[in-house]
Structure 1
Amino acid sequence: MPNERLITRVGGLFALIGLVLLCVTIALAASTASFLASAQRTDGTVVELTARTSTTRDSDGRHRRSTTWYPTVTFTVEGRQYSFESSTGSNPPAYAEGEAVPVAYDPADPRDARISSFWSAFLGPLITGGLGVVFTPLGLLLFVRGRRIARQRA
C-alpha cells in the first residue's frame, strides 16, 4: 500500500473518531445541562471515601498501582435520607469525610443525584471534547495531506 493511501486512511480514521467524540461530548453536555436545569439543590455531606485501585504496566514492564477516591454523599429531602457514590473520583481525594458539598437531585426521584460542582458535572464532556478537538483537525490534516500527495504522484 503506497504511503499516501496509509496517510489518507489514518487521517480519515482519526477524523471520524474525533467527530464521534465531539458528538458524544454534545450528548453528555446536553444531558448534564438538562439534568442541572431541572434539578433541585440541597447540601449533602461526604460520609465515606471509597478507594478503587487499578494496576497498569509501564513501558519497562513494571506494574504501577494508582488509587482513585470516590466520595459517598448523603443528603436529606423532605425528612428522608438519600445516599449516592459520585461517579467522579480523584487522587488525591477532592473531598474529606464530613465535608459539606452541594448536591443536585431530580425532584421526581431524589435517588438520581450528583455533586453539583463544575468538575463533577462536566469532567466527562471536557475529556471527550478535548480528545475530539485534537483528533478531528489532526485527522483532517492527515487526510488532506494524503490526498494531496496522491494527486501530485498521479
Structure 2
Amino acid sequence: MNITINEWITLTIGLFIIVWGIGKINERRKLLRTGIRVEGVVFKLEKRIGGGKNRMPIYYPVIRYVTQDKEWITKEYGSGTNPSVYKEGDMVKIIYDPADNGHFIIDGFLNRVSGFVLLAAGVLAIAGVIVYYILMR
C-alpha cells in the first residue's frame, strides 16, 4: 500500500509544527539568557477576525514597556488568543532583546509551554500517520 496525499500532507504539517515549536523554544531560551526583564502593561487589545468557517475574533495584546535606556516601546505581541488572556491595564513581565528593543516575549505560562505543546503536536501528527500506515498496510 502506498502512502496517500493526505498522509503526505499530515507528515508535512507535523514537520512544520515541530520546526515551529523548536523555534519558539530556542527563542525563549535565547531571551532568557541574554534578554532584559522589565514590567510592561497591556496598553490595549487588538481584535482581528480569524480565518476559517467560525471566523472567531482573536485578541492580540499591545504591550507598552520602558527599556533600560528609558525608551518607550509600544508593540503588538505576536500571539493572540480567544478568549483574551489579558485585559487592558494588566501588568505583565517582559523579556526583551537588548540588541532589538522591539523584540520581546511575555514571560508567562503560555509562553513557557507553547513551544513544547507545538513540538508534541507535531510529533503526535507524525506518529499518527506512521501508526495508521502500519495498521492499514
Same fold (TM > 0.5): yes
C-alpha RMSD over aligned residues: 2.5
Structure with the higher fraction of residues in helix conformation = 1
> Which residue of structure 2 aligns with residue 93 of structure 1?
84
Residue 40 of structure 2 aligns to a residue whose secondary structure is strand
Q: Report which of the two structures shows the higher radius of gyration computed on alpha carbons.
A: 1
- Please say if residues 84 and 113 of structure 1, whose CA atoms lie closer than 8 Å, have aligned partners that are also in contact: no
Match of 1:120 among 111, 114, 119: 111
- Please say if residues 28 and 105 of structure 2, whose CA atoms lie closer than 8 Å, have aligned partners that are also in contact: no
Higher relative contact order (CA 8 A, sep 6+): 1
Q: Shift in Å at residue 82 of structure 1?
A: 0.9
Question: How many Å separate the matches in 2 of 1:121 and 1:65?
Answer: 27
> Which residue of structure 2 aligns with residue 26 of structure 1?
22
* TM-score, normalised relative to structure 2: 0.79
Superposition pairs of residues 1-154 of structure 1, within 5 angstroms: 5-6=1-2, 9-10=3-4, 13=8, 14-15=10-11, 17-54=13-50, 56-57=52-53, 64-77=54-67, 78-120=69-111, 122-123=113-114, 125-146=115-136, 149=137
- Please say if residues 84 and 114 of structure 1, whose CA atoms lie closer than 8 Å, have aligned partners that are also in contact: no
Unaligned runs of 5+ in 1: 58-63, 150-154
CA change 1:55–1:25 in 2 (3 A) is closer
